Structure 1
Amino acid sequence: MSEHHPGTESAPTALAADDPYEIGGYRLHARLGSGGMGVVYLAYTPGGRPIALKAVRREFAADPEFRERFAQEVASARRIHGLFTAQVVDSGVDDRTPWLATAYVPGPSLHEVVRRHGPLPARTVLLLVAGIAEALQAIHGAGVVHRDLKPANVLVAGDGPRVIDFGIARAADAAALTGTGLRIGTAAFMAPEQALGLRVTPATDVFALGALAAYVAGGAPPFGNGPESGALYRVVHEHPDLTRVPPDLHDLISWCLAKRPGDRPATAELIASVHAHPEVGPRPEFTEGWLPGPVREEVGGPVDAGPSAPVHARATRAARVAGGLHVPTVAEAAAPAPAAFAQAAPAPAPLAGPAGPVAPARGSRSGRRTPGRGRRIPPTTAAAVAATLLACAGAVYYLDGPVGDETGTGGSSVTPSHPPTASGPASPSPSAAESASGYVPGYVRARLTAPDSGYEFDLKAGKVVAAETAAWYLARDGRAFLPSEDSDAFVTEAGDLTVAACVRGIETRPAAALPFDALGKERPFCVRSPDRGEIAIVRLVEAAADGSVTIVADQYRRS
């Protein structure tokens, strides 16, 4: 399994034209990532629970020894039921394209958390070590060695870490030995015996946990970055660099990073050491305060947001049942979001215009703000929500971390599709009228499809992204579009819309609502960014019965 590229984004994206429509009877909704072993998709069970479905690459699927080991590892993984691990829910080991489905856990990986927020405090690191060690106990108890424990394979939820992709690396051993060039594991987190090609044991995962803890506590791998060959040499021959790690963590991490497997602690000893540490005490619990504030705002916590909260808010503040993360059903994901807190405020009456109700002029808007990032919906009450629910970053399960844009499809077990796509936008030269308006073209004729309400249109980049990830966005609220807070919108009566007409319309007749029923190819609308620096002219192409929405957008920016 090859090392993933650090910093690669892990946000879900719309299916590409060559992605399958379904695998193993599960309809695919989005691509979650790809790696050395295959592609991971977002799918749903018949009852509506989201799952991460991993389709194996063709070259692995063609290797009989890989298929045999893959079946063995999937059978072992089904026996793992730890509270800090992912649950395998289904598989197709005998299909022409083998696949594996696991529970979908919204939340960023430790790699993403450290990349965005920097090193984490000692208490957080210790609690992560205890939770991951408990996950390893469940994995090792099923006779499995993870082999590729690294920050990208640990997700952060409000109630603790989740270890993913346990044991699957072993299935690739045979194919790797036949000359494909894939290395099993990740060099910067690989134990010396693994780097030397010797037998791996549970102690191999303990070494990786020590390297992971050093990375999380110090912001850099203890054996450095750079070329894989250099990292492997340092893992085998040199002492770890713990200069960035808080001194009170040195002993515990150094214990894990012992060169000889027999000198490393067992997982039970690791948990006991965390209990005994003065930063934690005898009851390490993932309660309020275990994560630093900025990370907790991103991840959310064990707070019940109610059954009607949107998927992006509920996933991070959902009720935990029996120590697990509650994941919303399809019906829940489509439900409107309730207000978290309400504060009475007088609502000015909406103005009237040829295009229907319009909002008051900039600076005197009415309306209600939904949880999330304060998105506006049509004014129906005299209330303004005073608090927000922050969304999760949408990190998900990967076969070995997101790398590149590979596909792992093929064979009779997958059905070709014509799924949502995002056309590559072009950048033409500005016309005289556009230049006169003060705006020049950015991208044009970008055809974008959001598979469901868990996605939004990133108007700045001209692509589909996971909900709550774009700064200037066009989302949906039921059967209507929902622009960014403080964005302005205008709907034209004519069949065409220019930038100059958009600017005039926004200043004189800004739209209060963008319902699908009032829009279409013959009635474009425009949205201006909160900083007034960009404008998007949008046409609704289709709002399909399956929940997907397709638009065509042109973007312009101030010259």
Structure 2
Amino acid sequence: MAGVEPGGQFRPLEAGDPASVAAYRLAARLGSGGMGTVYLSYTPGGHPIALKTIRPELSEDPQFRRRFRQEVEAAQRVQGLYTAPVIDYDTEGDLPWLATAYVAGPSLASAVGEHGPLPVPSVLLLLAGMAEALSVIHGAGIVHRDLKPSNVLLAGDGPRVIDFGIARAADATALTGTGVSIGTPAFMSPEQAAGAEIKPASDLFALGQVAAFAARGQGAYGDGPSHAVLYRIVHEEPDLSGLPGQLGFIARCLAKNPADRPSPAEIISLCQEASPTPLRQSGSWLPAAITEQITQRVSASAALAAAPTVAPQPSAPTAPVTRPDTPPAPATPPTPTAPPVHVVPTAPAAHVPPGPAYPPPAAQPQFRPAFGPPTAPQPPFGPQPGWRPQPLPPPKKRSRWIGYTIAVVAGLVWIGGCASFIRGLDDSSDSSASSGSSGSSRTAGDPSGGSSASAADSVPDPEPVRYEGVNVPTGYYIQFQDSPPRPLDGDGRYYSDLFYYDGELRSGNDKIVLLNNAQEGSLKTCREETRYAERVSLTQLSKGSELCVHSSSGHIALVTYQGTAPESDPSDYVSLDLTIWRNAEEPTDS
């Protein structure tokens, strides 16, 4: 990493770097990039972790925060031997951050830049490990989107793929003017370069690019301006000159058509076939110079963990302090410390970890509730110098108040009874009049005089309103009451009438039904069909598929799926035709 100096020593924190993040004391700076800055810290047990803070301009975007939260939660499901697992995170605070296991090794980018291309046996082990990592990542429903040499770390027991899925959080933000670039042009797939839908096969193209870089010292599409490299990726064949013959299968990863690229399992098999000996990850899988770098970093990390620490200053409490009834024996007892409060539940690692002797962090601002007047500053925990117990107020006579309460309750009950009696008289009169009028009507219109109660109580059929070509981007929702329905930024609102996210149509009312081809798309069908689901995947739909969607407000919509955005469109959206019957059933919300 860029944060490690010659000899394996870590770069110290710079001016402006925080001394701590949440309960983690920062020990050194590991590097920075388009998403934020990465620091070295430690768990309470002394295990090193890499803590990434997000750039302020990204964290200020609500859409980024929503996607970042979703991607981090998904990344927690990834538990592979060749990935860096998520240890802790906070996606809601002023400074969002993510902590993963620290990998004591250089990135592939820095290793090749400093020592040149890797030998064939190392490349085969690298490819097999990366393919296994992608298999686990894709199995968790994540597409990496930014697989490149700097996101592959070389550890003593194999490679580690990092930052999987996090780039997706910034893909749809409105930050085009901030200079933030998500995705590296030289390692993008043709479909990603063209702004089309990104699927797992896109990561396999990037894998081929990374493999070519590891074996040749440069990518398969050359260098130069980004637009020139992207043009070659989309329109030209890769340059694999000088690639060892055992690695010729890498060309299959670089196929323009995603369907022609091998799967991660196939890549592992191809690596095994190309290796004269069985593939085994060990401490000697890398050249000696890189192995020495790893050893130096392990020693430097252990030295920082063993450095003496300075106890942090006490943090302000977040709740009123209850003082003891009796003063303590010591005149000035030590004040215990309290760890900062996490916005989200964290792993057991969320405590003040041991670390080097760095200045204590600045005092955190006093917590204030989101409503009501500002709270007065609270004293630190424990009795303070000069503190004296306050006399308790004399006990109040509660018997008088109990009697008053009983009298008030009795009065309210009596008033309520009178109101109910009067209301009953009014209802009886109205019912009699209605009954007489209804009887006359039945006699005139129905000689049998018969009519079911359910027919009288049913909601009449409203007139349908049709809207065609409603495009709903991913992360957006529509409300059936709007005329015309227009997509609104979801921002986590899963209680909307119809929501499109991550390849699924979702109903906030948990009432969405996919009709089969034999069913007529009508109000009658939507009322009678009860095979309710919360969501329907686009993989279950074809052009013309019909769905019944019920809203909690009593509206019913027949949704006709017309397809997704074309590959040439950089947006991700679904095109829908809507037939809406407003107030077609009793509402279910409060």
Residue 85 in 1 paired to residue 83 in 2? yes
Kindly state the Cα deviation for residue 32 of structure 1 after the two structures are TM-superposed: 1.4
Please point out which of 273, 293, 298 is paired with 2:293.
298
Residue of structure 1 equivalent to 2:131 = 133
Distance 1:292 1:272, change over 3 A: same
Which structure 2 residues correspond to residues 358-377 of structure 1 after superposition, within 5 A?
A: none
Give the SS at the match of 1:20. Answer: coil
The letter of the residue matching 2:131 is: A
- Taking a change above 3 Å as real, the CA distance of residues 15 and 298 of structure 1, as seen in their structure-2 partners, is closer
Shift of residue 39 of structure 1?
1.3
Are the equivalent residues in 2 in contact too, given 1:188–1:232 (CA < 8 A)?
Answer: yes
Name 1:148's counterpart in structure 2. Answer: 146
1:179 deviates by 4.2
Give the Cα separation in 2 of the matches to 1:99 and 1:225.
Answer: 33
Q: State percent identity of aligned pairs.
A: 55
Asked if the contact 1:97/1:413 (under 8 Å) is kept, the reply is: no
Return the letter of the residue paired with 1:287. Answer: S
Q: Which amino acid in 2 is paired with 1:70?
A: F
Q: Relative to structure 1, is the Cα distance of residues 10 and 175 closer, same or farther in structure 2, using a 3 angstrom cutoff?
A: farther
Residue type at the aligned position of 2:80: G
Distance 1:329 1:221, change over 3 A: same
Query: Which residue identity does 1:40 align to in structure 2?
Result: V
Residue in 1 aligned with 2:272?
275
In structure 2, distance between residues paired with 1:16 and 1:183? 24
Offset, 1:117? 1.2
Greater than 6 Å deviation, 4+ residue runs? none
What is the letter of the counterpart of residue 23 of structure 1? V
Q: Deviations over 1:262-305 (max 9, x none)?
A: 0000001111111112x244x311136432333333335xxxxx
Aligned pair partner of 1:286 in 281, 292, 296: 281
Q: Distance in 2 between matches of 1:190 and 1:96?
A: 32
Structure 1 residue 264 and structure 2 residue 261: aligned?
yes
TM-score, scaled to structure 1:
0.52
2:172 partner SS: helix
Question: In structure 2, do the counterparts of structure 1 residues 47 and 71 end up closer, same or farther at CA, with 3 Å as the change threshold?
Answer: same
The amino acid across from 1:295 in the alignment is I
What is the distance in 1 between the residues matched to 2:146 and 2:305?
36
- CA positional deviation for 1:22: 1.4
- 5+ residue gaps, structure 2: 309-340, 344-354, 359-590
Partner of 1:47: 45
Query: How far 1:57 moved relative to its partner?
Result: 1.1
Aligned residue for 2:94? 96
Q: Secondary structure at the match of 1:172?
A: helix
SS in 1 for 2:74: helix
Letter in 1 for 2:252: W
Which amino acid in 1 is paired with 2:272? Answer: H
Q: Partner of 1:19: helix, strand, or coil?
A: coil
Residue number in structure 2 paired with 1:182: 180
Report the equivalent of 2:14: 16
Relative contact order, CA 8 A, sep 6+: which one is greater?
Answer: 1
Letter in 2 for 1:71: R
User: 2-side partners of 1:108 and 1:13: how far apart?
Assistant: 14
Q: TM-score, normalized by length of structure 2? A: 0.50
Measure, in 1, the Cα distance between the counterparts of 2:71 and 2:138.
12
After superposition, what is the alpha-carbon deviation per residue over 1:186-239, rounded to whole angstroms, capped at 9, x for unaligned?
111110001011111111111001000001101111111111111111111111
Structure 1: unaligned runs, 5 residues or longer = 1-6, 301-310, 316-326, 335-411, 415-450, 455-559
Match of 1:208 in 2: 206
The residue aligned with 2:165 is 167
How has the CA–CA distance of structure 1 residues 294 and 30 changed in structure 2, closer, same or farther, with 3 Å as cutoff? Answer: closer
- Alignment RMSD: 2.7
What is the distance in 2 between the residues matched to 1:73 and 1:280? Answer: 40
CA separation in 2, counterparts of 1:105 and 1:202? Answer: 25
57, 65, 68: which one aligns with 2:66: 68
Q: Are the structure 2 counterparts of residues 74 and 270 from structure 1 closer, same or farther at C-alpha, using a change threshold of 3 Å?
A: same
Q: How far apart in 1 are the matches of 2:196 and 2:156? A: 37
Cα distance in 1 for partners of 2:32, 2:144 equals 19
- Structure whose CA Rg is larger: 2
Return the offset for 1:53. Answer: 1.0
Contact 1:23 1:413 in 2 (8 A): no
Residue 138 of structure 1: SS of its match in structure 2? helix
The structure with the largest strand share of the pair is: 1
Q: Which has the higher helix share?
A: 2
The one-character-per-residue Cα deviations of 1:325-355 (angstroms, maximum 9, x if unpaired) are xx85966577xxxxxxxxxxxxxxxxxxxxx
